[in-house]
Amino acid sequence: MLPRRQAILAFVAAALYITQGQSMDVGGINMMAIRFVEIAAAIRVVVRKELASVNMMRPDVLLLLFFLAYMTVTLLRTGELDAYTLGLTVDGVLAYFAFRALISTPEDFIIFMKGTVMLLVPFALMMTWEAIKGQNLFSFMAGVPEIPIYRGKYFRCQGSFRHAITAGTVGATFFPIFVGLLFRNQNRLWATLGIAASLTIVIASHSSGPLMATIVAAAAWCCWSVRQHMKWVRLGIVVGMFGMHMLMKAPVWFIFDRISGVIGGDGWHRSNIIDKFIYSIGDWWFVGMPMENTMNWAATVTKYGAADITNYYVSIGINGGLISLLIYVAMLIACFKLVGLGLQAARSAPTKQATYEPMLWGVGSAVCAHTVNLIAVSYWDQSYVIWYLHLALAITLGNYFLREGQTAKSVKIN
């Protein structure tokens, strides 16, 4: 019922303030509260014809192709579409395209981010209470424990999320977006409050994954001064990784093990999962393989009789085969390319529009933080909503500035 600019906040509020313990069985499908919100959002954007305003871009098409390939491979391997695969697809498509339809301009985005501050500040305060008192205020909804995990003299706070890592990821990935808003004088108070709330959430989670995502986001902002030479930065990263691979005794993906020795966390497990995945490519590349085949990959085995696969890319390969993994990576590359083109267009635009460049950089940095973070965690609770939100924002804003730049160039020529 709300105006488009406010409606999106209801979606994010549901992800932040309702646990997955609030659910019911509908025809054998576990319908968490967030899924009812997805359906409501989908009905809204279709009925109000807001979905028709979405200009389909290459990343949009590749995301749809990814879900199609993922379901097809699962069907070929098992002969049926299980509820998990179907749920993954429906959740992703409904959430992503609802966000694409509900925000279409930089003005929409700024209003949304101000509203997000009003959602994140109370959430950060609740996680602070959890960190100090050792009591999760969301526990009355079920789905999360009343007393959070205590490790290393700190509570690992999770709020409404099913794990401290996914809760902390929310703060880590909103952080760079608020940094982008600092460049706009009229939005600095909102941006400062957003940064404070985001970092509070990361600290309260006491998890190495969100900390690493925050460091990645900060590193992305460190590249701001050389943003016109990112080609060389990317080349330097590739050359650096190749050099480490040649010089390290272990393969380069064991860098996570080295990093965990500094900031803490289970880096060896993450590196080992990648190692097993790569050397088992013959088993999963065609139509994936049963997750149970990973039982001997790690010491930690889930109640389902499989290794605890904390790497989303590895999970995609195991379940969806090499084709699904390649399409997903291609989608991410297309997203970054679109953001890059949008940044170029904004940079050469009239003064007013050029002030939006840091804003788009911040959103791109958030996607970068997610991209690295997915090496260490699969978004297995409502945190996927935040991932698809940031992905949709990056593509929407990148497309907006690219089109505006092309229009301005056309007018100048004529």
Do residues 183 and 359 make contact, with C-beta atoms less than 8 angstroms apart?
yes
Distance between CA atoms of residues 361 and 224, nearest Å: 8
Distance between CA atoms of residues 208 and 405, nearest Å: 40
Do residues 141 and 182 make contact, with C-beta atoms less than 8 angstroms apart?
no
Q: How far is CA 71 from CA 68, 75, 311, 396, in A?
A: 5, 6, 19, 26
Do residues 144 and 136 make contact, with C-beta atoms less than 8 angstroms apart?
yes
Name the token pair of 245: 């691979």
Average pLDDT, consecutive stretches of 10 residues, N- to C-terminus, the chain (414 residues): 89 96 83 93 94 93 96 91 86 95 93 96 98 96 93 92 95 97 92 97 94 95 91 90 84 80 74 91 93 84 84 94 97 96 84 77 96 91 96 95 70 44
In sequence order, the 6+-apart residues with CB closer than 8 A to the CB of 130 are 136, 137, 148, 155, 157, 158, 159, 204
Q: What is the DSSP string of 220-286?
A: HHHTGGGGGGHHHHHHHHHHHHHHHHHHSSS-GGGHHHHHHHHH-S-HHHHHHHHHHHHHTHHHHTT
Bridge partners (DSSP) of residue 151 are: 154
With vertex at residue 221, the alpha carbon angle to CA 101 and CA 326, rounded to the nearest 5 degrees, is 55
What pLDDT does residue 414 have? 40
Phi/psi for 376 (5° steps) reads -110, -10
